[in-house]
Amino acid sequence: MAEIVSLADAVAELVRDGDVVALEGFTHLIPVAAGHEIIRQRRRDLTLVRMTPDIVYDQLIGAGCARKLIFSWGGNPGVGSLHRFRDAVQNGWPEPLEIEEHSHAGMANRYVAGASGLPFAVLRGYTGTDLASVTSTIKQITCPFTGERLAAVPAINADVSIIHAQRADRAGNVQLWGLVGVQKEAVLAAKRSLVTVEEVVDELEPVDGGIVLPSWAVTRVAEVPGGAHPSYAQGYSERDNGYYAEWDPISRDRAEFEKWLERTRTTGVPA
């Protein structure tokens, strides 16, 4: 059953050096505040997993929290590249970053397999590309029924999955709606999970298109209003487009980034 705790306590308890950590959220509901807390607590050697790493992963990588990234797209949406990510891959700064590159479908299916309790997923994509020769987690498999050669990819079962949602009730049941990516699968697949929410309420009123993650599937809930900023939480906040543009010059320059890092480490948990 999910327990409701502070963000700092949740990260301290759930995220350990060397863990495989997945922060999921697509376009909105990106758990940025939780990422900043991981930076503040100076976690290291993490294997970061995310279908579409954006600014928060650039920040975690630049802060030296990660040794490996599992992904299918890494960029600053609407702006361009992630320069901390590129600096780590190309120049090993501040730490060398190993990458495990998959396609979107490969990543989504790996989470689905993990959530389903299956060891791997099978798909047609990858055939004919160079990915199988550069990514060790893509293997060829022969369909026992048709003989077709297909790609197999292992389940992702993160040590801890972190997502942001609109709200939870006091028992720790979590409700999210709007554009939903693979958050449900990431949480169900993980050994431990943390959900930051805009608010904790007495009762979860049904919302069209919403999904509920039951309390038994969630380890910890932390109330963090605005915890998806600069992304948005539908029904609660708007996307801060300026932040994405302003990140570009910070990300391009190691000195500017280090100033940002110092500010982030010395400020407290967002109210």
Partner 1 sequence: MTAASRAEVAVVACAELFRGDGEIVASPMALIPAIGARLARLTFEPDLLLSDGEAYLLDTEGRVEGWQPFKKVLDVVVPHGKRHVVMGASQLDRFGNQNISAIGEHAHPKRQLLGVRGAPGNTVNNRTSYWVPRHGTRVFTPAVDVVSGVGHDNAAKAGQAATRFHDLHRVVTDLAVLDFSGPEHTMRLVSVHPGVSVADVVERTGFELDTSAVTSTRLPDHDELRLIREVLDPAGSREREVAA
* Closer of 71 and 247 to partner 1 (Cβ): 71
Rg of the chain in Å (alpha carbons): 18
> Beta 120-123 vs 149-154: how paired, if at all?
antiparallel
Residue from 18, 44, 119, 129 binding partner 1 (CB under 8 A): 129
Distances (CA, A) of 184 to 76, 148, 194: 24, 31, 12
CA atoms within 13 A on the CB side of 72: 13
Q: Applying CB under 8 A, does 105 fall inside the site for partner 1?
A: yes
Question: Can you tell me which of 27, 41, 137, 264 binds partner 1, judged by CB under 8 A?
Answer: 27
Instruction: Answer yes or no whether residue 26 interacts with partner 1 by CB under 8 A.
Output: yes
Q: Per-residue string for binding with partner 1, 145-184, x by CB under 8 A?
A: ---xxx----------------------------xxxx--
Amino acid at 2: A
The site map against partner 1 for 211-250 (x = CB under 8 A) is ----------------------------------------
Closest CB to partner 1 among residues 1, 179: 179
Find the binder of partner 1 among 116, 117, 118, 124 (CB under 8 A).
124
Q: Are strands 211-213 and 120-123 parallel, antiparallel or unpaired?
A: unpaired
Where does the chain show beta strands of DSSP type E? 3-4, 20-23, 46-49, 66-71, 98-101, 120-123, 139-142, 149-154, 160-169, 174-176, 192-201, 211-213, 220-223
With CB under 8 A as the contact rule, the residue among 8, 79, 131, 200 that binds partner 1 is 131
What's the closest the beta carbon of residue 130 comes to partner 1, in angstroms? 4
Residue 116 binds partner 1, judged by CB under 8 A: no
Nearer to partner 1, 83 or 167 (CB): 83
Give the separation between CA 6 and CA 115, rounded to whole angstroms: 26
Contacts (CB under 8 A) with partner 1, residues 32-71: 71
The vertex-231 CA angle with 230 and 237, nearest 5°, equals 90
Give the interface with partner 1 as residue ranges (CB under 8 A). Answer: 26-27, 71-75, 81, 85-86, 89-90, 99, 101-106, 108, 123-131, 134, 148-150, 179-182, 209
